[in-house]
Amino acid sequence: MTLPDWMVTLVATASFFCFLFLCVRHRRKVQVLCRKVFSNIMARTEKPLFRIAYTLYTKTRLGYLYYKRQMRKAREQYPAGHSTSQPMEFNGIKIIPIPVLSDNYSYLVIDTASSVAVVVDPADPQKVQVVKAFVIFQAVLEEEGVTLEAILCTHKHWDHSGGNKGLKRIHSSCRVYGNAADSIPGLTHPLSHKDSVTVGRLHFKALFTPGHTVGHMIYLLDGRTVDAPSSLFSGDLVFLSGCGRTFEGSSTTMLSSLDTVASLSDETLLWPGHEYAEDNLLFAAEVEPRNAARENKSQWVLLQRAEKLCTCPSTIGEEKQYNPFLRSQSEELHVALGVQQLQDEDWTQFRARVLEELRKRKDLFNRR
């Protein structure tokens, strides 16, 4: 039985106040219990309890407080970041992956000719400021440093949007872009599908890709203007050998969004929102153990992660070879999953069902 939205909101609000009361009375016990319960609930998107927990995370202050706590813990555990990343520069455009929280990536994108910059998904404004200083001194930019002109936010989840307002306070003229349907914190410039954002020589196209959230967007940096490959900042839609969970949509919606990614040129660089490469490739090995492209990528990723090195970017062409979530049309994958197209099932419905089966198996894999 599906609960109506008003009931979910009512229960979530009541739960929030009960939680606050318990936190005051039994702080330590509640913290341990909540970590276990929250992890189990968030792994089961089809359950009513998940909807309540998800509503608390996305629509109440409890979600923000949880994010702040995770940020403090990550700063203590990974003072230098969870991974070591290297800037990538081509013809005056520099992309710097910024490791934040326990496995997130924000990205600083700089037009070195004009010293203007864009940040994608600033979860931790402190880290962005630290990296900004690094860029000033190491790249020998103008004495006043790079000017942060825009924030591109893929979606509302705190681990991608939590630094928006903090950076906006520091850089008052900075514009915050995102989709209005997602209630992006600090949003100043709402975007629709295929809208353009230009900062210096940085030309981005926003692509509407719902599924993970109702207003999820990805950003394509056009490399043609500087004779370089284009770059896709994919948020929680696509990771190296994986994809985000469908929190706010159907498998058909998610399939359409994944097809948007697959339609891009094979040379496009993929910059995902999380460092999930090792686990994702282990799952892909279970699904398609004989996939040679996946095996080659796995060996490289293992070497990278042994040194805590960043695994991005990959390319769209690579992902279409080994990422099972971008291979729903593959006959080899259908055989591996043991699924067949039904007589009265059209091709899109069948591929959406393949995606559902993959997600089901991936969620079970994650809970082992």
CB 103 within 8 A of CB 274: yes
Of the pLDDT bands very low, low, confident and very high (cuts 50, 70, 90), residue 366 is confident
Instruction: Name the active-site residue from 82, 111, 121, 155.
Output: 155
What are the two backbone dihedrals, phi and then psi, of residue 89, each rounded to the nearest 5 degrees? -130, 135
Q: How far apart are CA 157 and CA 226, in angstroms?
A: 33
> What pLDDT does 140 receive?
28
* pLDDT tops 90 at residue 36: no
Show the DSSP H helices in 269-341 as ranges.
277-287, 292-306, 316-322, 331-337
Q: Tokens standing for 333?
A: 């994958």
Domain boundaries, given as residue ranges, for the chain = 5-59, 88-366
**Residues 259-291: pLDDT tens digits?**
999 999 999 999 999 999 999 999 999 999 999
* pLDDT tops 70 at residue 141: no
**pLDDT, mean of residues 166-194:** 94
Instruction: Name the active-site residue from 111, 124, 159, 182.
Output: 159
> What pLDDT does 226 receive?
87
Instruction: Name the active-site residue from 111, 121, 182, 236.
Output: 236
Of the pLDDT bands very low, low, confident and very high (cuts 50, 70, 90), residue 44 is low
Instruction: Tally the C-alpha atoms within 13 A of residue 237's C-alpha that lie toward its C-beta.
Output: 33
Whether 203 sits among the annotated catalytic residues: the reply is no
Q: How far apart are CA 317 and CA 234, in angstroms?
A: 15
Residues 6+ apart with CB under 8 A from 297: 240, 241, 281, 314, 318, 322
User: Which of 132-141, 167-176, 204-213 has the least mean pLDDT?
Assistant: 132-141
Instruction: Name the active-site residue from 82, 216, 274, 334.
Output: 274
Whether 274 sits among the annotated catalytic residues: the reply is yes
Which residue in 232, 152, 236 sits closest to 188, CA to CA? Answer: 152
Which residue in 212, 223, 94 sits closest to 154, CA to CA? Answer: 212
- What are the DSSP calls for 160-183, one per residue? HHTTHHHHHHHSTT-EEEE-GGG-
Instruction: Name the active-site residue from 82, 171, 212, 334.
Output: 212
**Residues 98-108: pLDDT tens digits?**
899 999 999 99
Of the pLDDT bands very low, low, confident and very high (cuts 50, 70, 90), residue 257 is very high
> What pLDDT does 60 receive?
87
> What pLDDT does 137 receive?
31
**Residues 297-316: pLDDT tens digits?**
999 999 999 999 999 999 99
Instruction: Name the active-site residue from 82, 160, 216, 334.
Output: 160
> What pLDDT does 347 receive?
97
pTM: 0.86
| Other CB atoms within 10 A of residue 197 CB | 19
CB 305 within 8 A of CB 311: yes
Of the pLDDT bands very low, low, confident and very high (cuts 50, 70, 90), residue 250 is very high
Q: Which CATH number fits domain 88-366: 3.40.50.1580, 3.60.15.10, 3.40.50.1980, 3.40.50.300?
A: 3.60.15.10
80: exposed, middle or buried (Cβ count in 10 Å: 0-12, 13-18, 19+): exposed
Whether 159 sits among the annotated catalytic residues: the reply is yes
> What pLDDT does 52 receive?
86
Helix 61-77 and helix 48-59, axial crossing angle in degrees, nearest 10: 80
Whether 82 sits among the annotated catalytic residues: the reply is no
**pLDDT, mean of residues 337-342:** 95
Whether 155 sits among the annotated catalytic residues: the reply is yes
CB 199 within 8 A of CB 236: no
Whether 160 sits among the annotated catalytic residues: the reply is yes
Instruction: Name the active-site residue from 82, 157, 216, 334.
Output: 157
**pLDDT, mean of residues 196-212:** 98
